[in-house]
Structure 1
Amino acid sequence: MTGLFISFEGVDGVGKTTQVNRLHNYALERGLQPLVTREPGGTPVGLAIRELVLHGIAAFPSFAVTGGSDVVEEGDDLGPRTEALLYAADRAQHVSQVIRPALQRGQLVVSDRYVDSSLAYQAGGRELTVDDVRGLSTWATHGLMPRRTYLLDMDPELSHARLRHQLDRLEVEGDDFQRRTRDEFLKLAEAEPERFVVLDASQSPDDIWQRIRRDFDALTAESGISGSSEQDSR
């Protein structure tokens, strides 16, 4: 039996986590036994990679010992290619340990970020080539892609104003980086309209959720994914 793989994408602050949680709860009500995961950090190995790619070598000061003391220099930060390779390593482990086994069990898998984030942030934001980043991710995942991707789209200046936590390495990049990232997300959606659903993230969370729910209901019916709930059994 084959499960259903769904991803959520978008620049930081657009409300992905809110909608992931809503879909998780709705799927539970329908008896679908969803597995919710994220990138980077969907496995124990991925958690270590997450700290490195989001916070740099400063997250591991004992790794940067200079002259007998823990010193992290500005030049010790990750290069764009190193960053892309680390994301691919996280994804390879994530797919082999979490996503593919769950799909083989017939589960619904919902991931907060996946391949499209690498294409948007590393190819768009970091200005690496799309073909290189795509090839790396395809190799890492054995070509596994989501059946549906919900792209929450918003001007990065507006979405970043929503952030209430200490910003990570990508979130502190300048306006040009953020615009390139958003533009790359939109290019990806335009190239694969059958997979992407683009949502205006400036709308209310309730309005966004209603669009996702309607599409999700149609998608599960089309995919033959069904569950049972107390309401269904009455």
Structure 2
Amino acid sequence: MHSHQTTGDLIAEQIRRHRERLGMNRHDLAAECARLGRPDLTFAVLTTIETGRTGKDGKKVRRPVAVDELLVLGLALAVPPLLLMLPLGSEQAVPTVPNRDPRDPYTVWRWWTGEETPTLGGPIDGRYIAESQPIGENGPKWAAAWASAAYPASMYPEFERRRDAVHRAYLRAETAHDKRKTDKEGHVSAQTDYLHRLEELARHINDMTLAGLQIPQLRPDLIEDMKGLDMLDDPDHIQTRGDE
């Protein structure tokens, strides 16, 4: 297991690792950052990020990477920015907060994406022990507050899954429609499946609407079908986009 004092140390190591993976030196990386609109990420700055500079006390001090810089560096290095701080597959544990133990990288990854509720005590994978303390004297339980805030993180991937399922079912129904004279049973089955998938998507859209979430744009024919079948609680809440 590797040990890192801070997340900044880990990010610095990953920047160097991916820079070398691409055969880039720090001048190359600085030029790429400038191309992306961050000319302030110079050779000298990248050096202080990667190796630090000696302070008055003789100790090496790294320059921290800001959140907006993390995105630029990730794009410049052709690596998902989150992997710079959570290197899946190469580390057994990564830092979390200063007064708690490191955690498995993929566990922390799921915290960042809202897929899992953080648990700072217990086994290294972060599971099994729920954070039950309340927020303030009369506030909600911490885990409940987190789940409420993280709700959108679960809704959009599910929307995409259901939308794609509808698109596939729609194409199957279109193909079956052309063959309806020779395969009536297949036509009915494909149309039934399309309507079932469309209803699943509409229910999900209604849940998102109730939560006050913006609905990603959809093909107009799918929206018209949902409206025509009275599947939507608030038809005006969604926008159309051109055919794919």
Q: Provide the TM-score with structure 1 as the length reference.
A: 0.22
Q: Per residue, is there more strand in 1 or in 2?
A: 1
Report the TM-score, using the length of structure 2 for normalisation.
0.22
